[in-house]
Amino acid sequence: MQGQSPYIINGGILYNWQKIRLQTSAMYNVIGPRIIIVGFTGYPDIVEMPRHSLDLTFTKKIGKYLEAKAGVQSLLKQDVIYLQDANEDSNYNKDDLELMRYNTGSYYTAGINIKF
């Protein structure tokens, strides 16, 4: 089915250092290959290839009402790759037609929260 991956793996770990009021988390995600455009006879499917993602977050409580938070998304910076099964062998690999490759890079955030 279009847009459906045969597998998705998600995992995360969270650690809270209560003594120093610091919380950290790491989230990992991988998606399997998924059909982006459904093909037809003579024009095979276009598939987005698997990629891995790792996100990190740090939260530090400051006093009673403040907390500072920082994070990075897509730390692994893996390329998004679209392939078309050019040789029509139902295997997507380096022998197939690469239609698109791009990299969104990492996304960094930082902020301060005030709790009333």
Summarize pLDDT for 58-96 with one digit per residue, the tens. 999 999 999 999 999 999 999 999 999 888 888 888 889
**Ranges of each domain in the chain:** 8-114
Provide the pLDDT for residue 7: 94
Provide the pLDDT for residue 2: 73
- DSSP assigned state of 96: S
Element at 58 (helix H, strand E): strand 51-62
The phi and psi torsions of 107 (rounded to 5 degrees) equal -125, 120
Flag whether pLDDT at 18 surpasses 70: yes
Provide the pLDDT for residue 87: 82
Cβ-in-10-Å burial (0-12, 13-18, 19+) of 83 comes to buried
